[in-house]
Amino acid sequence: MDKVERLISIIMILLKKDIVSTTEFAQLFNVSKRTILRDMETLSLSNIPIYSIIGVNGGYGIMDEYKVDKRLLSSSDLDNILTALSGLEQILISEEVEVTIKKIEAMVSPLAPKGSIQLSFYDWEGRSEIRLTLKTCQEAILKRRLVSFNYIDKNDTATKRTVEPYQLHFSETSWYLKGFCLQRMGYRTFKLSRIDDLNMNEQTFTPRDDLLEHEQEPSYHPELVAVKALISPGIKDQFIERYGRKSIENYSPEYLLATIYVPQNSMGFGFLASFGTNLKIVEPSAYVEDFRKFLTKTMDKYG
C-alpha cells in the first residue's frame, strides 16, 4: 500500500471511529509509529482536522464537524434505510445502490442488531433482462444522450422511437421510461417490457424549457370504482395488505364483505379474476355485468 492509499484509509477509519492509537495504525498498515506520525502531519497540513489525545487511552481522532452528523439519524433510522435499500437492490441498478449501502453501513454502530428484517424477492428471468434496459436508460439520462428503440404498444403495433430520456419510474410491478419522443414531438411514457433493441446514441440533448412544468403534472391513474365483494377468509390477508383492515367487515360464517377500489377495465378485472372462486362481486351491478363479460370471453378462449 502506497502513502496516498494509506492516507485515504486513515481518513476513512477516523470517520468511522472516535479515537485510534498510533500503535493500532502501525500494526494495521505494517509500518513504524514514526511513519504514522508523519502521516498525521501530512493530513493536518492538508487541512484535515486531525487532533491528538495524549495518555494511556490516547491516539488520533477527526473533528466531529468533519463527519456526517449522525445525530440527525438514529441507529433505528439508519437500519430502516439499509433495510429498504437492501430490498431495492434486487430491482434497481445494483452498483450505485451497493455503494450507498456501504456508506450507510459505515455510519451504523457495530453494536446495533443486524438482520432484524429480511426481504426476499423471486429472481424472475425477465427481471435480469429489464435490469439491462434500466442500466442503459439510467446512463443515457445521466449523460443527456438520446435513446432509440422499437416500441410495441398494447395493440401489438411496433414503431421506431427516438427519445430524450428524463426519468425512470417504477409503479406497482413495472418500470417505465418518461421522456420526449422526437417522432410524436411530445412527452410520452414507455413501459420497459415493451421496449426492444434499445440503443444509447452518441447525440446529446439539452433538457427542454418546459420540462419542469411537465414533471409537475399529475401522473395518469385510471378511474377507480368502489366495488363490494364477498371474499373467503383464506384471502383476507391479501386484501388487508392492499386495502387495509377497514376495507373488510363480517358478513357470514363463510364469507367476509370487502369494499375495494379497482378500475373498471381489463386490468381491474384481471386482478379480481386472480382470486378465482374465493371472490364474488356483488355490486355495483354495472361492474358485475362487465366483469361477467370479461370472464365469459376468457372462458371462450378454452372452448
For 205-228, the pLDDT digits (tens) are 998 888 776 665 555 567 889 999
Task: Give the residue-averaged pLDDT of 71-81.
Answer: 58
Task: Give the residue-averaged pLDDT of 47-66.
Answer: 81
Least confident of 6-10, 119-123, 247-251: 119-123
Between 36 and 127, where is the model more confident? 36
My answer on whether 131 and 211 are in the same domain is yes
Res. 282: pLDDT tops 90: yes
Q: Which amino acid is at 266?
A: S
pLDDT of residue 76: 61
My answer on whether 293 and 231 are in the same domain is yes
Q: Does residue 242 lie within any of the structural domains?
A: yes
* Cα–Cα dist 181/148, whole Å: 10
My answer on whether 132 and 209 are in the same domain is yes
Residues pairing with 249 in the sheet: 257
C-alpha closest to that of 12 among 41, 43, 33:
43
Q: Does residue 240 lie within any of the structural domains?
A: yes
CB 153 within 8 A of CB 191: no
Q: Does residue 116 lie within any of the structural domains?
A: no
| Number of residues in the chain | 303
Res. 236: pLDDT tops 80: yes
DSSP 56: T
Taking CA 182 as the corner, what is the angle to CA 91 and CA 142, rounded to the nearest 5 degrees? 40
* Cα–Cα dist 101/110, whole Å: 15
φ/ψ (deg, to 5) at 153: -80, 180
Task: Give the residue-averaged pLDDT of 181-203.
Answer: 93
Query: For the chain, how many structural domains are there in total?
Result: 4
Task: Give the residue-averaged pLDDT of 215-244.
Answer: 84
C-alpha closest to that of 194 among 136, 130, 147:
130
* Cα–Cα dist 282/230, whole Å: 7
Band (pLDDT 50/70/90 cuts) for residue 202 is: very high
End-of-domain residue from the set 184, 215, 246? 215
Torsion from C-alpha of 63, 66, 68, 70, nearest 10 degrees = 20
My answer on whether 34 and 7 are in the same domain is yes
pLDDT of residue 11: 83
Q: Does residue 119 lie within any of the structural domains?
A: no
Burial of 197 (0-12, 13-18, 19+ CB in 10 A): exposed
Residue 162, C-alpha cell as written in the block: 427516438
My answer on whether 147 and 87 are in the same domain is no
My answer on whether 238 and 187 are in the same domain is no
DSSP 77: H
Between 211 and 90, where is the model more confident? 211
Distances in Å between the Cα of 219 and the Cα atoms of 184, 188, 215, 216, 271 are 19, 11, 9, 9, 21
My answer on whether 42 and 90 are in the same domain is no
pLDDT of residue 50: 87
Res. 272: pLDDT tops 90: yes
Range of the domain at 233: 224-300
Res. 14: pLDDT tops 80: yes
Q: Does residue 282 lie within any of the structural domains?
A: yes
